[in-house]
Chains A and B, each alone.
Chain A
Amino acid sequence: MRMPKPDASVVGRRDAIVGQLREIVATEGVIVDEDEMRAYECDGLTAYRQLPFIVVLPETTEQVSRILKLCHAEGVKVVPRGAGTSLSGGALPLADAITLGLAKFNRILDVDLDNRCVVAQPGVTNLGITDAVKSQGFYYAPDPSSQIACTIGGNVAENSGGVHCLKYGLTTNNLLGLEMVLITGEVIRIGGKHLDSEGYDLLGLVTGSEGLLGVVTEVTVRILPRPEMARALLAGFPSSEAAGACVAQVIGAGIIPAGMEMMDRPAIHAAEDFVHAGYPLDADALLIVELDGPEAEVAHLVDRVTGIARESGAGELRVSADDEERERFWAGRKAAFPAVGRISPDYYCMDGTIPRRRLAEVLRRMAEMSRRHGLRVANVFHAGDGNLHPLILYDANRPGELESAETFGAEILKLCVEVGGVLTGEHGVGVEKRDLMGVMFTEDDLNHQQRVKCAFDAESLLNPGKVYPILRRCAELGRLHVRAGQVRFPDIPRF
């Protein structure tokens, strides 16, 4: 993976820059010690490591503003960081970049039930938001599996999802407002407690922008009243085709479950061995369907989905009797990553999305790739919305296996694009999928995106080397080639 070349002139000015940062942030908030910086050397994509240039942990928006202004003036790069759980290397440090950690922005600023929203600092964890409103019967809907650790700022930057996104949407659909600091140090506010932004929808643009456009310093999210009840259905199928057909029929019947997850045989076995959730070991595919809402609705829909599952050839079929059993159904799915971690020294988590109806074909071709690369693969799948998480099992200590796993992974993602899907559903492009962007986008497509980056950060100081292959200069990107001489008053009907 080629990263932008460290800027020697910046590296040489390290002491001076540290001094300037210490004028902005109290001494202990500026970390320069190698051992202390070690904690920041990677994110959830641990195959890539790099010691930061300097780590700075500001506490106020004003400090962030002054830091960015300084970096802008001095030409120093900045990598924003939340909890460092990104699975795509979005928070991977650079040798000449300040890692700007938002861990100290950890306060809930306002719980406003009349407007059904919470205002939080970006370092508050995803679960921290729900915890702040739980006793009043509310919750924050997007629920990434990393929700105990990941921050709401990181969620905004990655547009994170979770198993309940099928019904309740991703981060972008649950966000009302932001405060953000631009690389110039300017502080902007977008949205608020009202709906829809005025002017261009910068709220939507910034969500999922992976720290390339600004540093988020405050977040307003919508919260929802907790549904009266939830029940889950566990169904084993003889094939992934049958399970896939069941998913299509549930949706075709007009039912949008709160969550609809699928696991393949290797994932079922790994999870069952780990948490003993009671999964059927003879099934080739397992579906967990959760229905939530008022009691009358849940009872009605559980009946309908049970009927559809049976018709689709479900073997074992169980409906949770209480919340404890429902949580047991989920326990295996939620622990799928660590469960796979137990059966293999290392695993590599992929994140493509496909049109659901292509599932069987994609799984079949993935099995062929698995044989060819000599690496096992287990699949967990947000089945309702086609977001696939193949986990490639490998051993980093065996020479060449990491590289094979990466090649295998890239082939899977290319396959996702080939069948009409995309490279990443919720984990972000980061450094991991950066060089695959050309598989999905033409040069013109990418240039239109990169010019947006230029509008926010003309010198490309914010998180460079992520998402887009090494940038061309903004001036060059902005150049317009008007086909003046050759315009032939083209043959377009005119009146």
Chain B
Amino acid sequence: MTDVLAPRDADDVLDAVAESLATGRPVDVVAAGSKRNFGRPCETACELDVSALSGIDLYEPDELVVGMGAATPLVALEAALEAERQMLSFEPPDLGPVLGAPAGQSTVGGVLACNLSGPRRIMAGAARDHFLGFNAVSGRGEAFKSGGRVVKNVTGFDLSKLIAGSFGTLAVLTHVVLRVLPSPEDERTVLIAGLADAQAVSAMSAAMNGPYDVSGAAHLPAPVASASANEAVSGLGASTTAIRIEGPAPSVEARTRAVSALVSEFGPTHVLDRAQSGSLWREVRDVSYFAADGRQVWRISVAPAAGAGVGGQIAAATNGTVFYDWAGGLVWLAIPALDDAGHETIRGAIRDIGGHATLVRADPEVRAAVSVFQPQPAPLAALAARIKDSFDPRHVLNPGRMAQV
């Protein structure tokens, strides 16, 4: 049976971790639980449910800063930002549906703990780049803070970066401060139909290498494009390469024209209006194409120019389906379920070129048996273990969640 501790505030979190240290019973830190299935399964039956630590308590739009309880729902934050025509520019994805949870459940702390960023990552940076400061309770049962509420800050080690992407294995976030940015006034997407993966990466690279401030560059091979709910995409009946342009209206218009002209040598182009563009990038962001099936899902980050090669090789070897974001640098892969999730094939394909592959969706038994996160060379793994021990010496927080097997 699962025990659930439900702290009401940061002091309760402190007590809960102290209790965990005293009793030797580790905790699985959860809020909405939308990403419970992301990572290696935690080896504990006790949950620390922090969902009460919620609510925006600082928002100064002209200072581009927002602060809140760590478990503030992402939808609530996004609604508050939208009212001021601002946004989280790293475009956090909603992986709930891919992970078998409902949509719209994510909390801000969960997004940060997994360092999740969407298509705009290539231009605006990752979640960690917008994470200015936090309060937390470490696995030592001590409250501490780092960073602050300003962007320019080099006072001491940048622990926000370390905590982002640590999957709750170092500390329980209680309060977080993020940088926000103005939402673009307008957007368009230039589509190119019918390109092979390698050509598509070349086309995206051409657009990225020009002065157009491209804020999204994705390629959907034909089987994926045909699954798009966006008829302007699925109706093409071919692979679709998408290049997004955002900004002030006159600028968007001029750049859309310039990018269309630039990539027309690759194939026929078509422009999506603002609404169509928005819905296409939400699909790409949330990996919607893989949400409704039972296959295993991998997320592979490589140098963009290597994307098509890696994607093609892995798809062929695993009988899988791929699509590309980040101008080719992010390969999303769905494969028919295997006991070992094909990890040797997949990681073997990137061994020589560098990068990392994360097993995002698979049954718990598979995620317990296969390293979910990219295994690290010995000195790096030892260093990571020392860092873990420095924050959580008794391994009471999310035990096993990031473990290498």
- Residue positions of A touching B, CB distance < 8 A: 112-116, 137, 158-159, 161, 165, 169-170, 172-173, 182, 186-190, 192-205, 207-209, 225-228, 248-249, 251-256, 293-297, 299-301, 353-357, 382, 385-387, 420-429, 433, 437, 440-442, 444-449, 451-456, 467-468, 478, 480, 482-484, 487, 489-495
Nearest CB of chain B from residue A371's CB, rounded to whole Å: 27
- Residue positions of B touching A, CB distance < 8 A: 3-8, 12, 15-16, 18-19, 21-23, 60-65, 85-86, 115, 117, 121-122, 125-126, 128-129, 138, 140-146, 148-162, 164-166, 170, 181-183, 185, 205, 208-213, 247-248, 250-251, 253-255, 258, 301-305, 326, 329-330, 354-356, 358, 373-374, 376-377, 379-381, 383-384, 386-391, 393-394, 402
Given A425-B153, A444-B143, A483-B18, are A200 and B165 also a contact pair (CB < 8 Å)? yes
In the complex, the chain A residue whose C-beta lies closest to that of B208 is: A116
Given A421-B150, A423-B155, A426-B152, are A297 and B247 also a contact pair (CB < 8 Å)? yes
Q: Which residues of B contact A301 (CB under 8 A)?
A: 248
Given A427-B154, A478-B393, are A420 and B149 also a contact pair (CB < 8 Å)? yes
Whether B209 contacts A449 by the Cβ 8 Å rule is no
Whether A182 contacts B156 by the Cβ 8 Å rule is no
Given A294-B212, A437-B156, are A195 and B185 also a contact pair (CB < 8 Å)? no
Whether B23 contacts A487 by the Cβ 8 Å rule is yes
Nearest CB of chain A from residue B360's CB, rounded to whole Å: 14
Q: Which of A115, A186, A198, A249 contacts B376 (CB 8 A)?
A: A198
Q: Which of A256, A386, A424 contacts B181 (CB 8 A)?
A: A256
- Assembly CA distance A199 to B387 (angstroms): 11
Whether B6 contacts A494 by the Cβ 8 Å rule is yes
Q: Which residues of B contact A115 (CB under 8 A)?
A: 303-305
Q: Which residues of B contact A386 (CB under 8 A)?
A: 63, 150-152
Given A200-B384, A355-B60, A420-B149, are A195 and B138 also a contact pair (CB < 8 Å)? no
Q: Which of A186, A195, A467 contacts B330 (CB 8 A)?
A: A195
Given A194-B302, A427-B154, A451-B390, are A205 and B248 also a contact pair (CB < 8 Å)? no
Q: Which residues of A contact B394 (CB under 8 A)?
A: 480
Whether A204 contacts B183 by the Cβ 8 Å rule is no
Q: Which residues of A contact B208 (CB under 8 A)?
A: 116, 225
Whether B254 contacts A294 by the Cβ 8 Å rule is yes
- Assembly CA distance A159 to B151 (angstroms): 12
Whether B148 contacts A421 by the Cβ 8 Å rule is yes
A-B contact count (CB 8 A): 316
- Assembly CA distance A209 to B158 (angstroms): 8
> Among the interface residues A248, A254, A357, A387, which one has the most CB atoms of the partner chain B within 10 A?
A254
Q: Can you pick out 19 interface pairs between chain A and chain B where the beta carbons lie within 8 Å of each other?
A: A137-B211, A182-B379, A193-B354, A197-B165, A197-B356, A200-B165, A202-B383, A207-B158, A227-B211, A251-B63, A382-B152, A387-B150, A425-B150, A440-B148, A445-B144, A487-B19, A489-B19, A490-B19, A492-B6
Whether A205 contacts B159 by the Cβ 8 Å rule is yes
Nearest CB of chain A from residue B10's CB, rounded to whole Å: 12
Q: Which of A137, A165, A196, A420 contacts B115 (CB 8 A)?
A: A196
- Assembly CA distance A489 to B386 (angstroms): 30
Q: Which residues of A contact B21 (CB under 8 A)?
A: 480, 482-484
Nearest CB of chain B from residue A246's CB, rounded to whole Å: 11
- Assembly CA distance A459 to B302 (angstroms): 36
Whether A248 contacts B390 by the Cβ 8 Å rule is no
Q: Which 5 A-B pairs have the closest CB atoms?
A: A204-B161, A297-B251, A254-B182, A425-B152, A198-B356
- Assembly CA distance A295 to B161 (angstroms): 36
Given A300-B251, A482-B21, A490-B12, are A293 and B146 also a contact pair (CB < 8 Å)? no
Whether A113 contacts B209 by the Cβ 8 Å rule is yes
Q: Which of A113, A440, A484 contacts B155 (CB 8 A)?
A: A440
Q: Which residues of B contact A228 (CB under 8 A)?
A: 211
A sample of 17 more A-B contacts (CB under 8 A), given A200-B165, A353-B150, A487-B23, is A137-B209, A194-B301, A194-B303, A200-B387, A201-B165, A251-B63, A294-B212, A300-B248, A300-B250, A355-B60, A422-B155, A433-B155, A445-B145, A446-B156, A452-B159, A484-B22, A490-B16
In the complex, the chain B residue whose C-beta lies closest to that of A441 is: B156
